[in-house]
Amino acid sequence: MRLVVLDLDGTLADTSADLIAAANACFRDLGAGDRLDPVADALTAFHGGRAMLRLGFSRIGDDWTEAEVDAQYPRLLEAYAADIDRHTRLYPGAERAVETLHSMGYATAICTNKPAALAEDLLSRLGVRGLFASLVGADTLSTRKPDPAPYHAAVERAGGELGRSFLVGDTETDYKTARAVGVPIALVTFGPEGRGVDRFAPDALLDHFDGLPDLAERLLAEG
**pLDDT tens for each residue of 62-84:** 899 999 999 999 999 999 999 99
Query: How far apart are alpha carbons 187 and 169 in whole angstroms?
Result: 5
Q: DSSP letter for 164, please.
A: G
φ, ψ for residue 2, nearest 5 deg: -75, 145
Report pTM.
0.94
**pLDDT tens for each residue of 80-125:** 999 999 999 999 999 999 999 999 999 999 999 999 999 999 999 9
Q: Just list the catalytic residues.
A: 7
Query: How far apart are alpha carbons 59 and 61 in whole angstroms?
Result: 6
**Which pLDDT score, from 0 to 100, does residue 29 have?**
96
Name residues whose C-beta falls within 8 Å of residue 149's C-beta, 6 or more positions apart in sequence. 141, 143
φ, ψ for residue 162, nearest 5 deg: -55, -45
**Which pLDDT score, from 0 to 100, does residue 223 have?**
36
* pLDDT by position in tens, the chain (length 223): 999 999 999 999 999 999 999 999 999 999 999 999 999 999 999 989 999 999 999 999 989 999 999 999 999 999 999 999 999 999 999 999 999 999 999 999 999 999 999 999 999 999 999 999 999 999 999 999 999 999 999 999 999 999 999 999 999 999 999 999 999 999 999 988 899 999 999 999 999 999 999 999 999 985 3
Query: How far apart are alpha carbons 65 and 54 in whole angstroms?
Result: 9
Taking alpha carbons only, the member of 202, 184, 210, 136 closest to residue 2 is 184
Q: Which helix (H) or strand (E) holds 3?
A: strand 3-6
Contact in structure between 185 and 28 (CB atoms under 8 Å): no
